[in-house]
Structure 1
């Protein structure tokens, strides 16, 4: 790992999102807040702040309105830790909005101790992956119809992480049994915090590649990005010694939070169909590593898709192409 991260160029001038509606999950702080700011700076007409704490969301809304008084900004509750809350959010969006052009799936966690969500899944997987799959499938028809109205593809962009490259599967330190799925392995293993987080992000990469095989980018372009190490307050939840170590590393290697917005909006509004199903490291498409192209990697990837689809079918009716 290099000491310093490479520089990232600002967004090109002239981005015009007037007339468009965007949803940003995890929008009240950190990268999500920065994405929201930069969407509004680019002329976005309607911003939906999807947040777990609506009181905090209203505070953020007022701050954003002070800088963008002509924008329409709504706060809608979304708790990605449980399916009923995600289903309720999907229903509310479908009922209250006739058009959504951009869906930024940014909400995410990295827990220090292993936690199990109400769904039975390890919590990193629930928040970083499964709930985002549900949001993708649940809102896909609305984004498709919005593309028909606007005459341009709608966008779904996930906030990913290059930490998936350090998972023990990718590094070759671990192999799944022929009948073992990635989800069951993570749910049933006593993995450390870094591994659990890395695997949740690996599932994202695998899922999006499978999605792109089934859904062409004519109406909805779906991709993911990694903004690198960003100076946010996410480390505030860590125990004091770890927090000091992380903040020291951030001070040396971390990028300003505005860079995360540049990388996110590049993926969501600047790039085109060439990024469909792809993972962007900073602003460039990251080519699949050897394991992801191997027979075993593709087997596990197909399992990720099949199990995710089977689980979501019990909650909503996914798009016909699924």
Structure 2
């Protein structure tokens, strides 16, 4: 068993561990202001208008974050989310802003990062939550890449790279006594551990995902592989970025119902079956969000470059 872990990589990748994690393990609790006071801090959440992202936004506001940026593809949906988040807030002036971010377009990613660079204070918390799972083979019309790989890996890590110099160069708006080390949490999935990753031997690697699909194409495997690529990237990046610059980690919310994540299967027999499975073994978005925020808010330097599940470091 690896040092610091309570399970082995082989166990982590198994169905038995998954069921134990979902049903039996104690989850990281929803944080309170006694656990973390985020007053003065700025946070960014990609995909913050629905599901786990929206719930995480609500929990961040409860922790007192002063400025929250919802990075969304659909600005109308983002504005509705921002309105719902602020309607019950009575704890003083808190700003929720909606910024356009389309992870299918590199130009949108770069424009978003440039806008972040114009802020007076750096973001203290960056939650790279937006993701996609395609129910059928889908390729990005601008890049030609598989859309799961494009969104969950390529564009996500591009945004991560572009934000790092900003986090390093700018001060926090939090008072000096609470000056935090920035956290960047790339939302992952236990499915990353389940990927067969048949493309691993391809050289170069990316074209192997862009090849014309065969009858063996599997939506779960493609999503799993895209999440594995992001997990590998974060682990390797953490070797090169000092944890004093930013703590980079990869938490999983676990299997979560009540989000629009599987929206592409809505109205289908497959979608009906998946919905039942999620209800039996999943938990609500409030629980999923608290697992993510345990990493994005509370996890220390020991989590740098690590995968986290239920608030614990896992292989």
Q: TM-score, normalised by structure 1?
A: 0.83
Aligned twin of 1:37: 58
Change (3 A) 1:189 1:167: farther
1:215-294 maps to which residues of 2 (within 5 A)? Answer: 215-231=241-257, 232-238=259-265, 239-287=267-315
Q: Any idea what SS the aligned residue of 1:104 has?
A: strand
**Structure 2 counterparts to residues 1-322 of structure 1, below 5 A:** 1-2=15-16, 5-6=23-24, 7-13=26-32, 14=34, 15-69=36-90, 70-117=93-140, 118-146=142-170, 151-169=179-197, 174=198, 176-177=200-201, 180-188=203-211, 190=213, 191-231=217-257, 232-238=259-265, 239-287=267-315
* C-alpha distance in structure 2 between counterparts of 1:251 and 1:229, whole Å: 9
Cα distance in 2 for partners of 1:283, 1:162 equals 14
How far apart are residue 240 of structure 1 and its match? 1.6
Deviation >6 Å, runs of 4+: none
Give the TM-score normalised by structure 2: 0.84
Q: Deviations over 1:214-236 (max 9, x none)?
A: 11101210011111110123233
Asked if the contact 1:98–1:142 (Cα under 8 Å) also holds between the matched residues in 2, the reply is no
Moved more, 1-10 or 41-50: 1-10
Point out the structure with the larger helix share: 1
Higher normalized contact order (CA 8 Å, seq sep 6+, divided by chain length): 2
Look up the match of 2:5: none
| Contact preservation (8 Å) 1:80, 1:127 | yes
Distance of aligned partners of 1:92 and 1:175 in 2 relative to their CA distance in 1, 3 Å threshold = closer
Maintained 8 Å contact 1:267/1:280: yes
Give the Cα–Cα distance (whole angstroms) in 2 for the partners of residues 175 and 121 of structure 1. Answer: 14
SS in 2 for 1:5: helix
Measured in 1, the distance between the counterparts of 2:136 and 2:46 equals 23
Moved more, 252-261 or 10-19: 10-19
1:148 and 1:219 in contact (8 A); partners too: no
Q: Distance in 2 between matches of 1:234 and 1:137?
A: 25
Corresponding residue SS for 2:118: helix
User: Does the C-alpha gap of structure 1 residues 47 and 95 become closer, same or farther in structure 2, counting only changes over 3 Å?
Assistant: same
Aligned to 1:304: none
Question: For this pair of structures, how many residues does the alignment match?
Answer: 282
| Deviations 1:71-126, CA, capped at 9 Å, x for gaps | 11111000001101111111122124432111110000000111111112111111
Report deviation, 1:141.
Answer: 1.6
Give 3-state SS (helix, strand or coil) of 1:214's partner: coil
Deviation at 1:146, TM superposition (A): 4.0
Conserved 8 A contact 1:159-1:225: yes
Give a deviation string over 1:24-45, Cα, whole Å, max 9, x none. Answer: 0001100110110010011111
